[in-house]
Chain A
Amino acid sequence: MYTLGIDIGSTACKCIILSDGKEIAGKGLYPLGTGTIGPKMVFESALKDAGLTREDIHTVLATGYGRFQFDGADSQKSEMTCHATGIHFLMPSARTIVDIGGQDIKALRLDAQGRLDNFVMNDKCAAGTGRFLDVMAGVLNVKTYELGPISDDAQSVVSISSTCTVFAESEVISLLSNNVRIPDLVAGIHASVAGRVAALVFRNGIVPDVTMSGGVALNHGMVRALSAELKTPITVHPLCQYAGALGAALIAYREATK
């Protein structure tokens, strides 16, 4: 039986097709979020990747910010439950998950059985979110995914005092005009986000193992900065970006076989 999980975020869509709740049969990613062609494109690309058609899919479950806007879903679940389920599948020992999404940050705590036990999310502010990193990458005229490798060359970490995205943007512009080294600046941007995120994670309590899910987890500079801030090692799975969609596909399978 094939089940499909689709994670419709604010800036990207991810899709996973599972075979019998065990094997990943196909996946897709599209860098546009809800309200765009993103959901349709990612759905089709996952089917193509798996060599399947819509008729082959038994159940579709949507998650993410745009979960209620997607007509093709049989049901919807919150991002929190889906990320927890997806990560538990990929990394059974994980008990604390940090997800930096496009517009929110989640700190999830799992119980010993891998079930979501409690969660904390950011307040209505873009500081510390993926959007903050996107804006900063824009100012530096690089792609967001390039921030990690750039920060590898940092010799020091520039302090960025504003956490507000708008003010931090002008602060970074003025630092740039003072000829601050770009890798040091990027390390400073990561440290700024890490500071905000760590405050939230501490609020939920840290139980090891700690991991990150979502696309930002692929930015190793960000992972390094957060790990330093939390004073805890963070392990990241290569499929971290698909954790929400994977969790959705797993829950779809459980619902279908109940």
Chain B
Amino acid sequence: MAEATPTPAPAKPKRPLPLSRQMVNAQTAKAYEDAWKAAEEGKPIGWSTAIFCQEICEVFDIPILYPENNCATLSARHIGDPYIAHAEGELAYPINICSYSRLNIGYADTLLKHPEQIPHEAPYLPRPTFLLLTNNSCTQLMKWYEQLSEMFDIPIFFMDTLFNYYEEEPKPHKIKYVRSQIENYIKNMEKFLGRKFDWEKFEEVQKISQENCRLFDEIVALNQRKPAPMSGFDLFNYMSCLVICRGKRSTTEIFKQLKKEVEEHIANNTSTFPAEEKYRVHWEGIACWPNLGYNLKTLKNYNVNAVMNGYVTAWDVLYNPGNMDEMAKAYQCSSTNSFSTPAIMDKRVASIKDYGCDGMLCHVNRSCKLMTFHIHVGREIVDEKAHVPVATFDGDQSDPRIFNEAQFETRLQGLVEIMKEKKEEEANG
């Protein structure tokens, strides 16, 4: 049978989860447990956009949960659809807005009108008492959170960031602007909670957060090895630690364990990628959470490991603890969405080279316009500078109506055939 034709894998008994994954699950369950407990005790709980300065709430020791991360979980478990349908039906939201916002608003309305339908455990969010919002990944978040604020009648703490379309680095005035907002946010939280902010603890939390980000970067970089010790899709799971528990010691423990496991894989020449790795691709865009299993299975059948993607590093917010200017800058730049297409694609080109990728697979995500619009021009840049073929496929991070299995497989197969030809050509000199 031809090499580029998929070999359906025989059904295997499920392998037990590695310890690091069990630790991730336990940490997530605890985050939800703490939040539900606070809700039952009438204590404050926040809902936050994905890349907010969570160090501050960590200092105040208040549970924070993340709707974007929650939507990803609900979608991956195929329990998000009724909320999307509710948002589009009864609440009349259009299909054109981000499916995370549709799902979460549909959920919020259910939580308000039918709280009895919501189990008090993960992955369900308890009702928030305040909102943390920053627009560093897109501006649609502002409308989404305004809507939540109105629905729950609760305040928003907003940190406005500026995009960097015309520069590689944010200009000093932009850093000053964001820094002043972080400082102001701390003061407002002090007023809201009636408690003083502990600046010493703040530095401690910052240190933990930095250690976690650095550890994660080191682990991700281990996937540069050929063959990679991890299936690239594993990174989607582990990055959730930085999303929801960036400033916690428990994340440090998870990453230390993970690093140990990955190094063991390297030493034993094994991998969590469940097939022989013949091709390495760079994945662009958010995962199709409802189709994660199908995508991984199809990639595996074609021996393609998506070793790296441009999304997982959005949470390594790097700065020197105690340096507020650096912190302000890091929160402004951590999502590549805030940069111009050439700047983003130059990062991807560098990453394609570092990770030895043979091609790029781009998720044309119906929901996330900001990430997707870069792809069409970006593919030319990648083609020209990295000299690797690029394939795109349609999908959505949460809305299952957009993705099409046959289309995904055809495009992947086409990409594999080109990568195979190029490899053979290189091998034959």
Give a binary string over A28-44; 1 marks a CB under 8 Å from any B CB, 0 the rest: 00000000000000000
Give a binary string over B386-429; 1 marks a CB under 8 Å from any A CB, 0 the rest: 00011110100000001010110011011001100100010000
Cβ-closest chain B residue relative to A255: B2
Interface-facing stretch out of A13-21, A72-80, A147-155: A72-80
Cβ-closest chain B residue relative to A116: B418
Q: How far is the CB of A254 from chain B (nearest CB, A)?
A: 10
The distance in angstroms between the C-alpha atoms of A116 and B418, with both chains bound, is 6
The distance in angstroms between the C-alpha atoms of A115 and B380, with both chains bound, is 19
Instruction: Decide if A96 is an interface residue (CB 8 Å cutoff).
Output: no
Instruction: Decide if B4 is an interface residue (CB 8 Å cutoff).
Output: yes
| Residues in A neighbouring B383, C-beta threshold 8 A | 118
Give a binary string over B62-77; 1 marks a CB under 8 Å from any A CB, 0 the rest: 0000000000000000
| Residues in B neighbouring A104, C-beta threshold 8 A | 407
Q: How far is the CB of A63 from chain B (nearest CB, A)?
A: 10
Instruction: Decide if B5 is an interface residue (CB 8 Å cutoff).
Output: yes
Give a binary string over B274-311; 1 marks a CB under 8 Å from any A CB, 0 the rest: 00000000000000000000000000000000000000
The answer to whether A76 touches B392, judged by C-beta atoms less than 8 angstroms apart, is: no
Instruction: Decide if A123 is an interface residue (CB 8 Å cutoff).
Output: yes
Instruction: Decide if B205 is an interface residue (CB 8 Å cutoff).
Output: no
Q: How far is the CB of B85 from chain A (nearest CB, A)?
A: 20
Instruction: Decide if B364 is an interface residue (CB 8 Å cutoff).
Output: yes
Q: How far is the CB of A249 from chain B (nearest CB, A)?
A: 14
| Residues in B neighbouring A61, C-beta threshold 8 A | 2
The distance in angstroms between the C-alpha atoms of A120 and B383, with both chains bound, is 12
Instruction: Decide if B376 is an interface residue (CB 8 Å cutoff).
Output: yes
Give a binary string over B355-383; 1 marks a CB under 8 Å from any A CB, 0 the rest: 00000000010000000000010011001
With contacts A65-B406, A78-B410 taken as known, whether A118 is within 8 angstroms of B390 at the C-beta atoms is yes
| Residues in A neighbouring B376, C-beta threshold 8 A | 203
| Residues in B neighbouring A80, C-beta threshold 8 A | 410, 414, 417
The answer to whether A117 touches B407, judged by C-beta atoms less than 8 angstroms apart, is: no
The answer to whether B407 touches A78, judged by C-beta atoms less than 8 angstroms apart, is: no
The answer to whether B391 touches A76, judged by C-beta atoms less than 8 angstroms apart, is: no
The distance in angstroms between the C-alpha atoms of A115 and B428, with both chains bound, is 15
The answer to whether B404 touches A116, judged by C-beta atoms less than 8 angstroms apart, is: no
Q: Which range contains the number of A residues in contact with the other chain?
A: 20 to 34
The answer to whether B418 touches A76, judged by C-beta atoms less than 8 angstroms apart, is: no
Beyond the given A65-B410, A80-B414, A124-B402, could you list 18 further A-B residue pairs with CB under 8 A, ordered by the A residue number?
Answer: A65-B406, A75-B1, A76-B413, A77-B413, A78-B410, A78-B417, A79-B410, A81-B417, A115-B425, A119-B389, A119-B414, A121-B411, A123-B364, A123-B394, A124-B407, A203-B376, A203-B379, A203-B380
The distance in angstroms between the C-alpha atoms of A116 and B413, with both chains bound, is 13
| Residues in A neighbouring B392, C-beta threshold 8 A | 120-121
| Residues in B neighbouring A138, C-beta threshold 8 A | none
18 CB contacts below 8 A, A to B, read A61-B2, A65-B406, A65-B410, A75-B5, A76-B413, A77-B5, A77-B413, A77-B417, A78-B414, A78-B417, A81-B414, A116-B414, A116-B421, A119-B391, A119-B418, A120-B379, A123-B364, A123-B394
The answer to whether B2 touches A116, judged by C-beta atoms less than 8 angstroms apart, is: no
Cβ-closest chain A residue relative to B418: A116
| Residues in B neighbouring A78, C-beta threshold 8 A | 410, 413-414, 417
Q: How many residues of B contact A (CB 8 A)?
A: 26
Q: Which of B2, B364, B389, B406 has the most CB of A within 10 A?
A: B2
| Residues in B neighbouring A123, C-beta threshold 8 A | 364, 394
| Residues in B neighbouring A205, C-beta threshold 8 A | 380
Q: Which of A76, A78, A120, A203 has the most CB of B within 10 A?
A: A78
Which 4 A-B pairs rank lowest in CB-CB distance, beginning with the nearest? A80-B414, A75-B2, A78-B413, A78-B414
The distance in angstroms between the C-alpha atoms of A141 and B205, with both chains bound, is 72
The distance in angstroms between the C-alpha atoms of A78 and B407, with both chains bound, is 11
The distance in angstroms between the C-alpha atoms of A21 and B364, with both chains bound, is 38
With contacts A65-B406, A115-B421, A205-B380 taken as known, whether A76 is within 8 angstroms of B414 at the C-beta atoms is no
Give a binary string over A64-102; 1 marks a CB under 8 Å from any B CB, 0 the rest: 010000000011111111000000000000000000000
The distance in angstroms between the C-alpha atoms of A65 and B410, with both chains bound, is 8
Q: How far is the CB of B4 from chain A (nearest CB, A)?
A: 7
From 1 to 20 in chain B, residues with beta carbon under 8 angstroms from any chain A beta carbon are: 1-2, 4-5
Give a binary string over A118-146; 1 marks a CB under 8 Å from any B CB, 0 the rest: 11110110000000000000000000000
Q: Which of B390, B421, B425 has the most CB of A within 10 A?
A: B421
Q: How far is the CB of A51 from chain B (nearest CB, A)?
A: 28
| Residues in A neighbouring B4, C-beta threshold 8 A | 77
| Residues in A neighbouring B390, C-beta threshold 8 A | 118
The distance in angstroms between the C-alpha atoms of A136 and B2, with both chains bound, is 40
Q: How far is the CB of B256 from chain A (nearest CB, A)?
A: 42
| Residues in A neighbouring B2, C-beta threshold 8 A | 61, 75-77, 251, 255
The answer to whether B417 touches A118, judged by C-beta atoms less than 8 angstroms apart, is: no
Q: Which of A117, A205, A255 has the most CB of B within 10 A?
A: A117
| Residues in B neighbouring A251, C-beta threshold 8 A | 2
Contact of B394 among A74, A76, A124 (CB under 8 A): A124
The distance in angstroms between the C-alpha atoms of A75 and B376, with both chains bound, is 32
The distance in angstroms between the C-alpha atoms of A117 and B394, with both chains bound, is 21
Cβ-closest chain A residue relative to B404: A124
The distance in angstroms between the C-alpha atoms of A78 and B414, with both chains bound, is 5
Cβ-closest chain A residue relative to B390: A118
| Residues in A neighbouring B425, C-beta threshold 8 A | 115
